[in-house]
Structures are given as C-alpha cells and as structure tokens.
Structure 1
Amino acid sequence: MIKFLKLFCYSALVALTMGCSQQKKIAYYQNIDSVASLGNQSFESKIQPDDLLMIVVSAPDPETAIPFNLNSESVATPNLQSMTMGQRQHMLYLVDKSGNIEFPVLGTINLTGKLKGEVVELLKGKLQQYIKKPIVNLRVMNYKIAVQGEVTRPGVYPISSERITLLEAIALAGDLTIYGKRNNVLVIREVDGKKNIARVDLTKADFINSPYYYLLQNDVVYVEPNGAKSNSSTFNQNIPVWISLSSVLLSLIVLFKK
C-alpha cells in the first residue's frame, strides 16, 4: 500500500511538472511585465516593385488636376435591375522592377525604397509647378501577407489597411494550432531583392520592439510544427504495429497459462 502511494505521488508530481512546462511553451507574452519599454513604433509601408498604386490628384480648381490623373474605367457590377450598370474605378500604377512608375505629364518617377508619405510629398513638390495647392491621395491596392504551417487557416491574406502586426496576421489565420512552435516563428521578408529571414519568439514580449512586429507587403509567416506533432504522427503511424504486438503477447500469455 505504501509503495502504491509513493508511486501515485511521484506520477502526480511528474504530470504537474510536465503541465507547467507545456504551459510555458504555449502562453504568449510571458515576460511582458519585465519589458522596460514597449516604445511607440510608428509604421508606414514602403513602396516595392510590383505594387499596384491608386494615386488620385485633386485641387481647389478641379479642372487643373484632370491631366494628372489616369483615366477611370467603368466596371460592371451585378444589379437586380440591370447587369450592365457599373461604377467608375481608377486605373492603377504598376511599380516596375526598377521601382519606377509612369505618371501623366510628369513622366518617369522613381519610388525605390520610399515610404508612402515620402511619395506623396515627392508628387506634391512636382505638381506644384502646374497646380496650386495640389492634394495627393495614395493607396497600395495589392497589399498582402501569407501565413503558412501550423495555423488553423493557412493562406494569403489581402490587407486593406496597409498596416498589420505579426499577431494580427496570426489571428487572421485562426491562431497557432497546439502543434505550432510559438518560440520559433519564421518571418521571410524581401528587401532590395534579397530574402531576409528572422525567427520570432512569441512567448517573450520583447518581440514587440522587433522590426518584425509590423509586417511588410508580401511578408511570409511560417509556423513550424513542434516535437509533439512529430511524436504524435510517429505513434499514429505505428498503431497497427502496436496492435499486432499486443495480440501476439496476449496469445502467448493465454498459451502459457494453459
């Protein structure tokens, strides 16, 4: 009886220790109280090759802005009364591989490495030669990120706000599964034609100050599977073997009893 109680207490202690260890691997922001300053990071997207930009120029005198806007086109939209009715949609600027766009009247403009706000100021400066008090509105129309691996809904997600954090991207994908490595999330980012790879530990709040806290256009987030999934997969694959061995052992026990 005493031996049984000792064995029970030991098993309970092991289970409790494993439970605490597992919780540390799953919980986010575990050291958030010890982070001295989370800072006030400002974020603005950079223009990249292959971006599709909607740029609208306006002015107090609307007629003066017309030559500096691309022609809009009519796009058909389903309508209960008529399928031919549509709405006007602005044509988009495609940023080429060299970071250039062709702007009406102004010609070729290079946007390489420029923040969205910098592009707006650049265009305003050039337009002031032709327009009094020009107004420039710019929007990236194909801003997207990809989330892969051990998440509930992997996929490519378009971002309408042009601003998204790593945590928001993971939330869009339905959060990590129980098998995802929370302490080793991979972020793949292309900068000036080169692939940069970073590993982020979501269990530590320090990553909030990381340059990978805010995702950029076309970033790829990959969540690796942890050892538990590998072990689980191996065990599941070997279930038929375990069943066969159990059957053989049971047959031998019955045979020897006779």
Structure 2
Amino acid sequence: MSKFKLIFLPFTLLFFLSSCVSNKDLIYLQFDEIDQSKVNNDYQLTFKPDDLLQIIISSKDLKASIPFNLPVFASSASSGSAQGVPKLQSYLIDGNGMVEFPVLGRLKLGGLTRIEAIELIKYKLYPKYLKDPIVNILITNFKVTVIGDVKQPKVFQIDNERVTIFDAIGMAGDLNISGLRENVTLVREELGKKTKYSFDLRSNKIMTSPVYYLQQNDVIYIQQNNAKIQDAAYTRNTGLFISLASVLISLITIITR
C-alpha cells in the first residue's frame, strides 16, 4: 500500500464511521406500548389571547342576524368609498381573554373550547335577539412552525384546528435522514409563559403526550444528529485537512529518502 493511502486511511475510516446511521434511529413509533386509556380521541382546542376569531351568526330571520355580522370593506384613500368584496369582521382575543362583539358587548372566550364558546354566544343571543341562532367560529391565524433538520422548514397556516405532531412533520416534508428523532423539541406558550417539551418520535408514548395535538403558535425544532454535525465540521475544515496532509506527505517524503 502506498504512503499516500496509508496517510488518508484513518481520515476515510473516521468519516464513514461517524456518518453511519442505524435503522433503529430512523423508524417512528417503533417501541413502547400504547396506553389506550390515555389516548385523547376527543381533543378540543382552547382559545387563547391573540387568537383572531371569525364569528358568524345566522338564523332563519336573516334581517335580525345582520347586526351580528359586521362586514369589512377596503376603502380608497382618494375617493373615500368602499371597494372590493366585503369580508366578515375578525375579533382579537385580548390579554384578559375578552373580545368586543357587536350588540352583545364584551365576551370572555379565552380559555373556552369552540363548543363552549358557541354555547355561550347562543345563550347571549336567545331569546332576546334571535329565536334560532346558529353560531360558527373559526380561528383565522392558527399557525405552527417547523424548523431544523426537515426538508421544508417554514411557518404553516392551518385551517384544521385538530393537528397532530405528525401532520406538521408531513407538511414539512418529513425529517431528513440526519434529523434527530429521539430528542425533538416543541416550544409552546402556556399561561403567558414559554414552555419547552422534549420527546421521542420513535416511541408510541408520543400519542399520549400533551404535544401530540398541536396548539396555536407551537414551534417544533428538529436537531441534527452527531454525524451531520461532524460532517459539517469536516466540510468547514476541508482546506485545513488538505494543508496538513500536504505537510505530512512532504515530511514523510523527506524523512524516508
């Protein structure tokens, strides 16, 4: 074997050993039993401060429903007239969990589920204002963020409020092969504070975890595994390695003459 090959053999072996990824590091939901008694199949999202809600009120008496559905128009600065197709008003939940709603005034919707909020508004409407109120509520600014070692890291606007951690990973195009599945981090705002969760996507226990169903503004971070980090370090130091190898080759050539 030539002197050149002998010098570079340790570097080559080190690179391949550090880049090796075991199959057990890649498979989701591969171990731990699921405690079915802890699986929440009836999960309901709870409204929080800064949620933007679209609240639609309807009934058989369309005229009586109009005051509860304020339209929003785009206006022209030059003419002062309304332009475009009107959209329904959205209502921001303030820091105290309150919204200002037409006719009914201040309503405390923060901390309620969708069903609870609908029942509260129906109670306020019937029978004083509407005999047969129909209430629909939609969060218009529901989003989750997936960053780190995934194929498409980005902020995702969500129409469906029942979203799981695997839904978000699927929207991000799945983890890269170098993504660390055993130590995923989720950051969530709870009671005005940031809470950090760590969990293992390889374990079935994720399905009974408080992070399985996502909440508004959740941030999911996927770390790189050690092989990817070391590979990045090798890439950054390639020039240095080449220079050192050249010096070593020159020294060995001089010594062995």
SS at match of 1:177: coil
Residue of structure 1 equivalent to 2:44 = 44
**Quick check: 147-156 or 37-46, which moved more?**
37-46
> What is the rounded CA distance, in whole Å, between the counterparts of 1:214 and 1:133 in structure 2?
33
> What is the rounded CA distance, in whole Å, between the counterparts of 1:75 and 1:189 in structure 2?
37
SS at match of 2:181: strand
Matched, 1:59 2:59: yes
Residue of structure 1 equivalent to 2:13 = none
Within 5 A, what are the aligned runs for 1:155-194? 155-194=154-193
Structure 1: runs of 5 or more not aligned: 1-14, 77-83
Instruction: Determine if contact 1:75/1:88 at 8 Å carries over to the other structure.
Output: no
Residue of structure 1 equivalent to 2:107 = 109
> What is the rounded CA distance, in whole Å, between the counterparts of 1:146 and 1:249 in structure 2?
48
Deviations 1:191-242 (A, max 9, x none): 1212221111001111011111010011111112221122112222222222
- Summarize the Cα distance change of 1:160–1:75 in structure 2 as closer, same or farther, 3 Å threshold: farther
> What is the rounded CA distance, in whole Å, between the counterparts of 1:253 and 1:71 in structure 2?
82
Deviations 1:129-181 (A, max 9, x none): 22101100111111101111111221111001122111111111121122221
Instruction: Determine if contact 1:75/1:89 at 8 Å carries over to the other structure.
Output: no
**Quick check: 231-240 or 142-151, which moved more?**
231-240
Within 5 A, what are the aligned runs for 1:235-246? 235-246=234-245
Matched, 1:215 2:214: yes
Q: What is the RMSD computed on CA atoms of the aligned residues?
A: 2.4
Residue of structure 1 equivalent to 2:147 = 148
What letter is aligned with 1:51? Answer: D
The alpha-carbon deviation at position 58 of structure 1 amounts to 0.7
Select the structure with the greater relative contact order (CA < 8 A; seq sep ≥ 6): 2
Instruction: Determine if contact 1:54/1:141 at 8 Å carries over to the other structure.
Output: yes
Residue of structure 1 equivalent to 2:197 = 198
Total equivalences in the alignment: 234
Q: 1:95 aligns with which of 93, 96, 102?
A: 93
Instruction: Determine if contact 1:148/1:222 at 8 Å carries over to the other structure.
Output: yes
Q: 2:123 aligns with which of 125, 130, 151?
A: 125
Instruction: Determine if contact 1:73/1:91 at 8 Å carries over to the other structure.
Output: no
Structure 2: runs of 5 or more not aligned: 1-15, 77-81
* Length-normalised TM-score, structure 2: 0.83
Residue of structure 1 equivalent to 2:231 = 232
| Overall identity of the aligned pairs, in % | 41
* Length-normalised TM-score, structure 1: 0.82
